[in-house]
Structure 1
Amino acid sequence: MPKGSEKLTKARREEIISACEKLYETMNFKDITIKEIGSITSFTRTSIYNYFSTKEEIFLALLQREYELWIEQLQRLRRDRKTMEPLEFAEALAHSLESRKTLLKLMSMNHYDMEENSRIERLTEFKRAYGRSLDEVELCLKQYVPEMTKEARKEFLFSFFPFMYGIYPYTIVSDKQRTAMELAEVDYVYMTIFEITFAEIRKLLNI
C-alpha cells in the first residue's frame, strides 16, 4: 500500500472502482483491462497495482460497493418505514433491486473469476459485505413480516439470494438474443427487473 493518508488511499480506490464501473457500462468483463481502467483515472496505470493486484479484484470491489449501497437502501427503508404490509414490503424490496442493475449484472457474470483471482484479504472484505446484506434482508423480514419464524426467514434467504443471480440475464436481453429467441420459436414472456423480482418475493412470502 502506498504511503499517504487513509483519506487519499480511499479516494484513489474509489476512483479506480468508478473507472471500472464506467467502462463496464459499454464493455464486457473480458475486454476491460487494467490499462483501460488506468486510462480514465487521474494517475498512472502502474499506480493501480498499489491498490489492486488484479482486474478481478477491482471488479470484486465494485461488487462489494454495490452490496454496500443496497444495504444502505434497506437500512433507510427500515428507518423511514417502521411498519408495512407484507405486500408493500415485497414491492419495496423489488424496487431496491431495480435500482441496482450493476449489482445484478456482476452477480450473473464472472463471479467465480472475481473471487478466485482476488487475494484472500480482498475476498474476505467482500464476504463481509455479502454477509451484511443477508443480515439486512433478514432484519427487513423481522420488521415487516413479524409472523415469520426464524426457520422461514432462513428459507426465504436461501431461496431469494440464489434467485438474484438469474435476474439480470432473464430481464436484460440484447437485440441479438431477442432475435435468436424469435427464430428458435421460444415462447418467452419478457419481464422487467421489478416484475420478476416482485413476483418471486410474493411467491416466497405466500402473498
Structure 2
Amino acid sequence: MSETGQGFIRARSPENRELRRQSILDAAEQLLDKAQVADITLRDIGRQAGIATSNVLRYFENREAVFLELLNREYGAWLDALPAELAPADADSAGPMSSVRGFADAYAASLAARPAMCELASVLASVLERTVSVETVRTYKRQALAGNNRLADIVHARVPDLDRAAAQELASATIVLIAGLWPFAHPGPTVVEAVEDPALLAAHVDFPARYSRMIELLTTSLQTPAAP
C-alpha cells in the first residue's frame, strides 16, 4: 500500500525511523539520476518515496536537509570504494610525475563515476547550507570533517611524498574543486547550444580530464621536496 495519505504508518522504533530516512534518501538519489538539484522539489522526493510531503518533513526539516544528508552518504560510499579505485603506487613507473598523473587520473575518474555526489557538492555552499538550521549544518560539518580526515589518510597512503598536512590540504580541496568545475562541465541547454559553435570548442569542459589536471598540479605542488 502507498504511504501517501491515510496509508502512512509512522515509524516508531529508532530502527524503523532510520529505515524510513534511508528510503527518503534513496528517493532523492533516484531523482538525481534524471534531474539537477534545482529542478527537484520536496514534493518530488515524497512522491518518489511513496509518502506525502508532510511526512517527509517528519524526518527532515526541508529539501536541503535531505540533500545534505545524501551528500554525506554519497561521500562515505565514495571513501569506501576509493582505495581500490586508485591506481597503486608503482616504484618501477617512469618517474614521480608518471605516478602522480596516474593517481590524478584515477582520482578524477572515481569522482566522475559518481554524478549524484558531484551534483550535490556543486551546490553545497550556494544552496544546501543556506536554508537549514544551525544544528543541521553542524551535523553535516562534523561528518564532512571526519570524511576529509579519512580521505587524507587514503591520499597519504597512495602518494607517500605528500606528508599528512599536505594530504589534508588536498583532501579539503576536493569538494571546492568539484564545486568550481562540475557546473561548467554540465551547463544548461542554452550554453550547450551556444558552444556547438566550432569557434567555441575551447569552451567545452571535460570534467575528468580537467579535474585530473588540477589534482595533478595541486599534488605536485604539495609534494615534499626530495632531499639533496
Equivalent position of 2:37 in the other structure: 29
Distance 2:201 2:11 in 1: 58
**Bigger radius of gyration among the two:** 2
Residue 82 of structure 1, CA deviation: 6.8
> Any runs of at least 4 consecutive aligned residues in structure 1 with deviations exceeding 6 A, and if so which?
none
Moved more, 98-107 or 116-125: 116-125
Q: Percent identity?
A: 23
Q: Does 1:4 align with 2:12?
A: yes
Aligned to 1:166: 180
TM-score scaled by length of structure 2: 0.74
- How many matched pairs? 204
Q: Is the 8 A contact 2:112 2:208 kept in 1?
A: yes
Letter aligned with residue 17 of structure 1: L
The amino acid across from 2:67 in the alignment is F
Separation of aligned partners in 2, 1:110 and 1:180: 27
Could you tell me which amino acid in structure 2 is paired with residue 51 of structure 1? Y
The one-letter code sitting in structure 1 at the alignment partner of 2:152 is E
- Correspondences of 1:10-159 after superposition (within 5 Å): 10-76=18-84, 83-84=89-90, 85-109=99-123, 111-159=125-173
Q: Distance in 1 between matches of 2:194 and 2:203?
A: 14
Counterpart position of 2:4: none
Alpha-carbon spacing, 1:203–1:186, altered in 2? closer, same or farther (3 Å):
same
Find 1:194's aligned residue among 208, 212, 215: 208
Report the 3-state secondary structure (helix = DSSP H, G, I; strand = E; otherwise coil) of the residue aligned with 2:195. Answer: helix
Please list every run of 5 or more consecutive structure 1 residues that lacks an aligned counterpart in the other structure.
Answer: none
User: 1:136, CA displacement in angstroms?
Assistant: 2.4
The answer to which of 29-38 and 49-58 deviates more is 29-38
Distance 1:28 1:159 in 2: 23
* 1:67 and 1:129 in contact (8 A); partners too: no
- For each residue in 1:125-144, what CA deviation from the matched residue of structure 2 results, as whole angstroms up to 9, or x when unmatched? 32123213321231123212
Report if aligned partners of 1:94, 1:194 keep a CA contact under 8 Å in 2.
yes
> Relative contact order, CA 8 A, sep 6+: which one is greater?
1
Q: What TM-score does the superposition give when structure 1 sets the normalisation length? A: 0.81
Q: 1:26 to 1:160 in 2, by over 3 A?
A: closer
Could you list the runs of 5+ residues in structure 2 that have no partner in the other structure? Answer: 1-9, 91-98, 222-228
1:51 Cα deviation after fit = 0.2
